[in-house]
Structure 1
């Protein structure tokens, strides 16, 4: 069995449309437009990374921002056909590295409390729960809480 190869690519300012398309495909219930992606991922405080498959097709993304010593993963997603293959972990670790490079000592994110697959990934990547935001995410049948997660960043 051949394991698909993935590589990461720092999204440049002209790739906001690619990141926005990935975000919309991963989260159709809460799409972000290209302008929002461009604003949120603009250096020096923000960045976006795209995961590409062996055919150089985009299959995932992460967007993060740094403010002082804290960083936040704003959005992370992997297309359904590329899930459970290590792409999510690569993107999380890329966000950690990018945040460290910008001087952050802690990385935060929110995850829907019913998203067990994501919560399992984040725990495996060293995140722990530091809070809960009731009614944070909209769902067709109502609202659901977000868990606020944190990971300390070593080596700053």
Structure 2
């Protein structure tokens, strides 16, 4: 019983403007070129973009973001703009929880399909997406910048929701 009282509560909700700085810090840990707080704030304010933030609530009620996903929906297609989990929170299934929350919302909104790009070298992300039913529909060579060489290949994945 005491263990349940000490375990932090996980909350999934929409991003707000005041989250932009914390989300930018998390984003910078997952990508070569992280997005600034201003860029994230603009996306949060964009009517075509939906967001889900995974927060852990401390004993003191502080709800710190641990990861987030941003999805743009236009007409009958959605695209994952980004998904990232803070390094200290990785390996706990938070990425899956974020994806599942986003997919449920898209399904509820009758969006028939969603696309994303993922670095083919990101084995854990590729495994997650495939386990959710995403299939490869293309490749973009040189999509991800690297220090030396032509850049990494992005897999273009699609999931039909309807």
| Common topology (TM > 0.5) | yes
Shift of the 60–140 alpha-carbon distance from structure 1 to 2, 3 Å rule, reads same
The corresponding residue for 1:80 is 87
Corresponding position of 1:57: 64
TM-score calculated relative to the size of structure 1? 0.87
* C-alpha spacing 1:43/1:103, structure 2 compared with 1 (3 Å): farther
Counterpart in 1 of 2:22? 18
Structure 2: segments with no counterpart, 5+ residues: none
Which of 53, 56, 77 is equivalent to 1:70?
Answer: 77
> Cα deviations across residues 64-101 of structure 1 (Å, max 9, x unaligned)?
11010000010001112211211000111122123334
Structure-2 separation of matches of 1:41 and 1:78: 17
2:29/2:87 contact within 8 Å kept: no
Structure of larger gyration radius? 2
C-alpha distance in 1, partners of 2:46/2:104?
15
Unaligned runs of 5+ in 1: none
Match of 2:51 in 1: 48
Closer/same/farther in 2, CA of residues 13 and 103 from structure 1, 3 Å limit? farther
Find 2:156's aligned residue among 121, 135, 148. Answer: 148
For the Cα contact (< 8 Å) 1:41–1:47, is it kept in 2?
Answer: yes
Alpha-carbon distance in structure 1 between the residues aligned to 2:22 and 2:70: 12
Tell me how many residue pairs correspond in the alignment. Answer: 153
TM-score normalised per structure 2: 0.84
